[in-house]
């Protein structure tokens, strides 16, 4: 199965304008750098990422956001800014990330929450929202999450999102579990292009 859309521009628009029970999803901008810099403060999980931690929090945030802007331009996907509906505060990033795993095209469901917002179920809400979008709009046999072997918090989110461990591999030099869920949707709102 390949990636297909019922209308590329419609999917890109819908992807960047989603809502869930407590959260609003939108494209990131460079204006988000100061708020996203908080992700890199008092975060004991940064070692799960491939970051140069000698950089300032603002430099790391800008680097992260620039990667998302490049992803949007390349394929319309990438992490989205996630805000609380109640306050419009940026609390997380989450999205669908096209990946190559063992020479196979995959779609990763990714999520990262600013530490002061951990423990509120936001990562699970983000992951479920992205999975539901992917099932409706992406023609793929499955969807995955790439999780470091030691990252039990993200593993719990993947399990709550209906995923299971598919296999272990190396990703960016680190051993990871690939969690996944089969795409069982029969009513995709897509067509080939």
Domains located in the chain, CATH noted: 8-182 (3.40.630.30)
- Please name the residue that has the structure tokens 């990562």: 123
Span 34-89, pLDDT tens digits: 999 998 887 777 666 776 778 899 999 999 999 999 999 998 999 999 999 999 99
Q: Is the pLDDT of residue 4 over 60?
A: no
Q: Say what the pTM is.
A: 0.88
Neighbours of 38 (CB within 10 A): 17
Cα separation, 189 vs 136, whole angstroms: 6
For 94-116, the DSSP string reads: EEEEEEEETTEEEEEEEEEE-GG
Please give the distance of CA 64 from its chain centroid, rounded to a whole number. Answer: 12
Residue 146, classed as helix, strand or coil, is strand
Please give the distance of CA 101 from its chain centroid, rounded to a whole number. Answer: 16
Neighbours of 13 (CB within 10 A): 11
Question: What separation, in Å, do the N-terminal and C-terminal C-alpha atoms of the chain show?
Answer: 13
Cα separation, 141 vs 64, whole angstroms: 28
109-123 burial by CB neighbour count: b if 16+ within 10 A, else e?
A: bbbbbbeebeeeebb
Least confident among 34-43, 119-128, 132-141 = 34-43
């Amino acid at each position: 199965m390949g990636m297909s859309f019922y209308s590329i521009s419609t999917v890109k628009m819908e992807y960047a304008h989603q809502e869930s029970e407590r959260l609003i999803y939108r494209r990131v901008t460079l204006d988000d750098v100061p708020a996203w810099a908080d992700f890199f403060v008092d975060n004991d999980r940064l070692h799960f990422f491939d970051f140069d931690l000698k950089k300032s929090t603002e430099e790391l945030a800008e680097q992260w956001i620039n990667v998302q802007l490049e992803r949007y331009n390349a394929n319309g996907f990438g992490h989205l800014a996630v805000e609380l509906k109640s306050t419009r505060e940026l609390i997380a990033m989450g999205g669908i990330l096209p990946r190559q795993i063992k020479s196979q095209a995959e779609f990763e469901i990714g999520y990262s929450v600013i530490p002061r917002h951990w423990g509120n179920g936001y990562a699970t809400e983000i992951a479920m929202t992205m999975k539901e979008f992917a099932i409706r709009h992406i023609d793929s046999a499955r969807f995955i999450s790439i999780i470091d072997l030691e990252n039990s918090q993200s593993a719990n989110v993947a399990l709550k999102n209906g995923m299971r461990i598919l296999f272990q591999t190396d990703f960016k030099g680190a051993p990871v579990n690939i969690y996944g869920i089969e795409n069982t949707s029969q009513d995709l709102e897509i067509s080939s292009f």
